[in-house]
Structures are given as C-alpha cells and as structure tokens.
C-alpha cells in the first residue's frame, strides 16, 4: 500500500510565487491534515478536513488555503510565498481518532524553501 | 500552557540501557494517546497507542497517568537503532491530535 503520497518532495520558491502541495491517500480515511514542522516548534496544524466536503483552520492557517478535492486528495496552496513559510510540510490522514486505536498516517513530507 | 509538552532531551544512553521519558497534556477530556517515532528528515511513524491499562510492544512500554495528566514511554535494552525523536500525541477532539515537540534519544555504542 502506498499510504499517503505527497508531491513534490522538495521545492524552492521565490518570495511572492505561488504553489500547490498535493496529497493523496489510498486508505479510505475520512480525515486529512496539513502540518508544518519547524525546528524546536514541533508539528503545527495548518488546516484539516474532518470529512470530504469540510475544511477547518488549525493553529497557523494564515498564508495558506486548502481544497479537499475528493475523499482521497487534500491540497495545500501558498498564494504568495514568504520566507517565513520555509518549512517541512507533512500531510496526514486518519480514521477514528477518538477510538484511541488509530493514529495518523503521515506522508513523507515536502521540504519547502522560500528565498 | 501548551496542550502537550515534552522534555526535549537529548537523552544520551549506552546500548542496553533503559531510558524513560514523559509527556504532559493539559486537556483532561483527552481520550486518545499515541507515541510516534521520527527519524532525522523523515516523517513521524506511529510507534504505539497508549491504553489506560498500559501496554507493551516488545522492548517498549507505554503508560497513562490520568490523575497527573501524563503519558510515559520506556525503552528497555536500548539498541543503536532506537536513536530517534519520539513525539507524543494527544487528541483534541475526535478529529485532531496535538503533538509535543519531541524528545530526542541517542543510543551510543
């Protein structure tokens, strides 16, 4: 099983450029998430989608937009990249968090540098 | 107060040693608890769920203390391959997990 697939793996942007990070999962999970991870800051939630057709802001949504295209795909868009958005971005999916049995499954990450 | 806090370490231990560390959480209503392992420049991977009664998976033991609102992870007979950052995660609601910043463990030969 592929699990959670993120593209691209690496990206360098110039300040002001836009780009979309793609994420797809093949586990039939209802919920999907976008996190960023910065040194010393841990994982911070940008946006999440509890189920197909819904999206909600996380801790650090400013400068980002998301689209839950269908049950499998959840994309993250940077409309006008800023150096502060240099980070590692992880997509994740989950099923039934509340049961305490199933956690998140993460993609392998996108390393984004904004210059 | 952060939702989830961890001692960042690093914990530097010799092979074969036992190492243990905790993670505190602020939401007394949380019901789901997890430990993740993250290798350098890799994604976090689920190590184990933490159940109320405590649970073991080989050399790893996880405990939950609801009264003091912390979970713990103990690694016995440490291997070089256990060197990693360990993240704890606690549910915020039925859909979201909040993560600690991680505890770094380095096992030396």
User: By the 8 A CB rule, do A30 and A51 touch?
Assistant: yes
Distance from CA of A39 to the nearest CA of B (A): 9
Residues A71-103 pLDDT 10s = 999 999 999 999 999 999 999 999 866 666 678
Chain A nearest C-alpha distance from B80 (Å): 23
Measure the CA–CA gap between A79 and A17, rounded to whole angstroms. 7
Instruction: With CB atoms and an 8 Å threshold, state whether B49 touches A103.
Output: yes
Chain A positions touching B44 (Cβ under 8 A) are 43, 90, 104, 106
Distances, alpha carbon B71 to alpha carbons A50, B24, B74, in Å: 26, 6, 10
A73 DSSP assignment: B
Output the tens digit of pLDDT for each of chain B's 109 residues: 788 999 888 999 999 999 999 999 999 999 899 999 999 999 999 999 998 888 999 999 999 999 999 999 999 999 999 999 999 999 988 788 999 999 999 999 9
């Amino acid at each position: 099983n592929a699990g959670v697939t993120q593209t691209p793996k690496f990206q360098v942007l110039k300040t002001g450029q836009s780009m979309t990070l793609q994420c797809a999962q093949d586990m039939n999970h209802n919920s999907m998430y976008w996190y960023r991870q910065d040194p010393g800051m841990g994982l911070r939630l940008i946006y999440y989608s509890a189920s197909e057709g819904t999206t909600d802001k996380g801790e650090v949504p400013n400068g980002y937009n998301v689209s839950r295209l269908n049950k499998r795909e959840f994309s993250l868009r940077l409309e006008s990249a800023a150096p502060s958005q240099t980070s590692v971005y992880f997509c994740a999916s989950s099923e039934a968090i509340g049961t305490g049995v199933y956690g998140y499954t993460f993609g392998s990450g996108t390393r984004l540098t904004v210059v | 107060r952060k939702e989830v806090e961890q001692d960042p370490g690093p914990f530097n231990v010799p092979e074969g040693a036992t190492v243990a560390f905790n993670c505190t959480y602020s939401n007394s209503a949380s019901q789901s608890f997890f430990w993740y392992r993250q290798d350098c420049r890799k994604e976090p991977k689920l190590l184990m769920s933490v159940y109320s009664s405590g649970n073991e998976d080989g050399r790893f033991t996880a405990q939950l203390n609801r009264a003091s609102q912390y979970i713990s992870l103990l690694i016995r007979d440490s291997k070089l391959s256990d060197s990693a950052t360990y993240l704890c995660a606690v549910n915020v609601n039925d859909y979201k997990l909040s993560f600690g910043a991680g505890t770094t463990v380095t096992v030396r030969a």
